[in-house]
Chains A and B, each alone.
Chain A
Amino acid sequence: MDAIILQILNGLDKGSAYALIALGLTLIFGTLGVVNFAHGALFMIGAFCAVTLSRLLSLSHEVAVPGEVDFLGNPAMRDQPYAYDIFGEAWGAHIIDWAVPLSILFAIPVMILIGVIMERGLIKHFYKRPHADQILVTFGLAIVLQEIIKYYYGANPIPTPAPEAFTGSFDFGALIGFEANTIIYPYWRLVYFAFAAIVIGAVFAFLQFTTFGMVVRAGMADRETVGLLGINIDKRFTIMFGLAAAVAGLAGVMYTPINSPNYHMGMDFLVLSFVVVVVGGMGSLPGAVLAGFLLGILESFASMREVINIIPGINQVIIYLVAIVILLTRPRGLMGRKGVMED
């Protein structure tokens, strides 16, 4: 029992990332009908927003240490981050420590801007072209974005730690009545899951309970009619693209402490996220979220030693295997709508 709970927990953080990326992909596909192969790159850019902010915050200059001299008799120097000057020593240290969560505030406008520029500048011209063209041009864009990041940040993973308060693990088993030390779970992964749940909830609430969301949902159902009613649906869809980019970016920001970001992390996630979207059903938002968590948890179960002993290598292929079975038996995916990309 405790092993099962542990595996479910282990699956949650990867599942959260899958779900967030798949949610964004589905938002873009459902509103604009575009298959966005550059979505993984957006996830990666989000992660590098966190890297950028934490570097910016720890920018420092040299100051003299009062009362100390080095061996030449000059005043001893030490690096002092600018953040200390602005916010004072105690607050400055806290801010640097909390760089990753603070990056959320930084990433949202940046990602929305990137998303809107992408949609207006490039994707807009591809609505009437075949899906294969959309796949190809966004694939090219993904390569370009990835290489730009590689140029500025190098090819090596950049460790970006979580705040001090969330490092380490806690005994989840003891909390829910199991023996101590059976279910140990890192704090940050729980934070990631909670964060993903909040973001997903916020997106759904936004679509469900605001007028803007209502119009967007109407546009997803029948774009032409909404347009005929005198609503500028294109503008709203552009904003939705920005929102989807922001969701992917946020997923990336918060993922940095779990996996040090490198330039190709987006591509690694993209392939799996597409599988997730297809399993969930093209164009179905709940389907994407459900399939994301489901596949994440399934993957973690498949990597249990007992399972690998029975079917070696299953942990590597389980997601693809599930995708193949689902696509062949339930062509619309788990919760796909009728009439969306049927063939």
Chain B
Amino acid sequence: MFGLDKKDASLLLVVAALVVFAPFFLNPFPEASGWAQFNAGYPDLMQRFVIFGIFAIGFNILFGLTGYLSFGHAAFLGVGSYAAVWMFKLLSMNVIPAIILAVIAAGVFALIIGYVSLRRSGIYFSILTLAFAQMSFALAYSVLTPITGGETGLQLALDDPRILGGLSSSDGNIPVPGLFGLEMRDSSKLVLGGWVFTFNFGYYFSALIMLLSFYLSIRIFRSPFGMMLRAVKSNQQRLNYTGVNPRPYTLAAFVISGMYAGLAGGLMASMDPLAGAERMFWTASGEVVLMTILGGVGTLIGPVLGAGMIKYMENIISKINSDILHTWFAFLPDGLEDAVVAMIYPFIGKGWHLTLGIVFMLVVIFLPGGLVEGGQRLAGLFRRKKTDESKTATTEPAE
């Protein structure tokens, strides 16, 4: 199907099903119950799941296949956001031209940075990309204020030219991004018993693009080009000796992954039309590294899982506060309850970064293949018990 073998096609179908039915299973708790605040099925968060999924998929094409660890990938996301917002300001509120320009701008930017950075490898490459990203951040924050909006970020205004679209919506406000009349923020609600499910147009639009980019990444992984990138990772020297110049391949991978980041940035701006320099800060670059590693670097599904998990943790764990903990552990004797709550408290709420850091360290130490490797190990364990033959799980080595 679609030029994929059976395994990849079923993976794609599983992901597609997950994405389509996400509004249902991300909302497992009835609206009236006390657990409702842990529902993740609201449009804003679901959009972030898929958008960061795209970002991580793109990062994985570079890091997972070639082994080049870029610490400045957020710069492309930022460039994409700025490009998209400018398109909204100048052309129209239709998201298609905005996203196209975002991808192109990020691609060109990645071409320039990649051309310079890829002259070195290893830690030097990481530092170079980091330096470029920090430079872009500093410039966007200060000197480029006319283009980037500086500290306040780039926002839409009523007096933007918008050549092709209306200057303002019918009620005199700034128009919202949409696709040929359908607004990105349009949602419909479905009430089933105590449950409320929200279907958001912006989410399904992003999800469709995410599935397309996921499909593209599978094709890249399975293509001769993907094999070449893997060869770069496993032994660049040998590649040189066989007379192959790896740089065009790595540069292509870098540009592709930059374009993915630009696509994510463009989508982000389409969901919420503003762009700020903090999207380019190096911690944002670190975040996509965390996502990819956590999920499983070099695997197809890993980055999507990692992105979903980190965004879920960010939104859900940070909502838990000490009162909620007290209700959870109310069954324990008083003294013990306080002790347990005091022990867990640093890891939740504002401290969720601590949890993230610890989980990340544990994954890097014990599960270099990320969640995917963990899943495969578990599956291997069960399979061995059943058939009693030592089938080793096929893990892809990650570096």
Contacts and interface: CB of A to CB of B under 8 A. Distances in A.
A331 interface: yes
A143 B356 contact: yes
Interface in A307-343: 312-313, 316-317, 320-321, 323-324, 327-328, 331, 341, 343
Given A131-B123, A143-B356, A151-B354, A320 B134 contact: yes
Interface stretch (B113-121, B153-161, B218-226, B262-270): B113-121
B364 A328 contact: no
A278 B130 CA distance: 12
A271 to B, nearest CB: 6
Contacts of A135: 69, 123, 126
A136 B292 CA distance: 11
A144 B131 contact: no
Interface in B283-336: 283, 286, 289, 293
Contacts of B368: 129, 133
Nearest to B361: A140
> Most chain-A CB neighbours within 10 Å: which of B132, B236, B289, B354?
B354
B192 to A, nearest CB: 40
B115 to A, nearest CB: 11
B96 to A, nearest CB: 34
B131 to A, nearest CB: 4
Interface string A267-278: 100010011001
Interface extent on B, as a size class? 35 or more
A282 B123 CA distance: 10
Contacts, number: 112
A147 B364 contact: no
B365 A137 contact: yes
Interface residues of A, number: 41
A34 to B, nearest CB: 11
Contacts of A143: 353-354, 356-357, 360
> Most chain-B CB neighbours within 10 Å: which of A132, A150, A321?
A132
B122 A343 contact: yes
Contacts of A137: 361, 364-365
A95 interface: no
Given A327-B124, A341-B123, 18 more contacts: A130-B399, A131-B123, A135-B69, A135-B123, A136-B360, A141-B357, A143-B353, A143-B356, A144-B358, A146-B353, A275-B127, A313-B142, A317-B135, A317-B138, A317-B139, A331-B120, A343-B120, A343-B122
Interface of A: 35, 122, 125, 129-133, 135-137, 139-144, 146-148, 150-151, 267, 271, 274-275, 278, 282, 312-313, 316-317, 320-321, 323-324, 327-328, 331, 341, 343
23 contacts: A131-B123, A135-B126, A136-B293, A139-B289, A140-B361, A141-B357, A144-B358, A144-B361, A146-B357, A148-B354, A150-B351, A151-B351, A271-B282, A313-B142, A316-B138, A316-B139, A320-B135, A321-B135, A323-B127, A323-B131, A327-B120, A331-B120, A341-B122
